[in-house]
Structure 1
């Protein structure tokens, strides 16, 4: 059975604010299964925002685990992400999960993967999913040449450009800002 997957998630830290957004498309094989999936979640009393790409059920499992780690480490984003990545890589059940996450608070943006990676992206721009390179490229150009835009505006424009190019990304955007 094919898994429901494919998406684009983009996060930008700019002028003291972090914005993270995602499109709403979920695909099953070569068809759109749903066009308004919410792939952005607030955790830690709204101080931490996450976005996921990959298998939806796997991502929800990881979001629950990440929320537990946040509770265990008093909301320390980096420590919770590192501990989740360790578990994800070594646990027999978790290492079979197929997803990626971007986690962010007002100070930092991190990409967390099942291979044990916790990456602080260059230029304060993180992107995951099928349209990630389109969104990331657009965001880097906006950060360099349109510094007057807010982090939220850059995320919206980057995702819109990705949706114009990537068939697995749509224009139903959800964007959250952490200040």
Structure 2
């Protein structure tokens, strides 16, 4: 393993689900540096725009917080119009010399919409109302899709159970789960 790979910060599974007019977004709490767990209870979610929007992040924490701050500014500038704010943030992220160096992803939910915003300029609205980012995202996504299709669990319950499954599989995900709802 190269020295750079050993120092790569890997952490986070963030999952958001919309069901029956309600949304939940949650994350685990693990932060890892190389093969060492640095912290078990990192908070990776944040309420935005008067509590109507929940955002979660994966990637470098300082970069993600910077992006969340910028996204919140865009939400205010565009009166809470989620898609417009997301597209403007993605555009700035790709074109601004400072922002384009930031390494993070954002998962965002409201009661009606779920989006993923990436540093490559992508604004993705999944068809099934499920967003997942981070190291254990594909495990959580698979679990959430199955639970959404085959159970009557609430959005919050689906997020919780799916993150628990991801924590059992992904070494960069733990079971210190924090969930927000709108």
SS at match of 1:78: helix
- Specify the alignment match of 1:86 in structure 2: 91
CA contact (8 A) 2:10 2:135 kept: no
- Specify the alignment match of 1:29 in structure 2: 34
TM-score by length of 1: 0.96
| Contiguous gaps of at least 5 residues in structure 1 | none
| Contiguous gaps of at least 5 residues in structure 2 | none
CA contact (8 A) 1:24 1:171 kept: yes
Structure 1 residue aligned with 2:120, among 98, 115, 121?
115
Q: Aligned equivalents of 2:170 and 2:70: distance in 1?
A: 30
Superposed CA RMSD in Å reads: 1.0
TM-score by length of 2: 0.95
Equivalenced residue count is: 177
Structure 1 residue aligned with 2:68, among 59, 63, 72?
63
Q: Aligned equivalents of 2:11 and 2:59: distance in 1?
A: 6
CA contact (8 A) 2:90 2:118 kept: yes
Structure 2 residue aligned with 1:156, among 148, 157, 160?
160
CA contact (8 A) 1:131 1:168 kept: yes
CA contact (8 A) 1:77 1:104 kept: no
| Residue deviations 1:55-85 (CA, integer Å, cap 9, x gap) | 1110011011001101100011111111000
Whether 1:167 and 2:171 are equivalent positions in the alignment is yes
CA contact (8 A) 1:50 1:102 kept: yes
State the 4+ residue runs in structure 1 displaced beyond 2 angstroms: 1-5
Q: Aligned equivalents of 1:47 and 1:166: distance in 2?
A: 30
